[in-house]
Amino acid sequence: MIDGQGNYFIDVRYEEAPSTSLDGIVGYIPPPVNSEANGYFTGLINIGIRNL
């Protein structure tokens, strides 16, 4: 584009998105009542890295 004084310019419009997201859940599974087994932790983690 050219303005009134003969200068060239570019008009760029953008919307910035979040760069990183982190979601997760953690749980504990207890051992059975009549067992020698151990309890354990379980879960899910989702990491989103955007704008790279």
What's the rounded mean pLDDT across residues 3-17? 82
- Whether 14 maps to a domain, the answer reads no
Q: What is the pTM of this model?
A: 0.47
Q: Which of 16-42 are b and which e, b meaning 16 or more Cβ less than 10 Å from the residue's Cβ? A: eeeeeeeeeeeeeeeeeeeeeeeeeee
Give domain status of residue 4, yes or no.
Answer: no
Please tell me the predicted confidence (pLDDT) of residue 7: 84
Choice between 41 and 34, residue whose per-residue pLDDT is larger: 41
Residues 6+ apart with CB under 8 A from 51: 17, 19
46 in Cβ contact with 22 (< 8 Å): yes
What domain range is 31 assigned to? 20-49
Residues in the chain: 52
Q: Is residue 8 part of a domain?
A: no
Q: Is 43 part of a structural domain of the chain?
A: yes
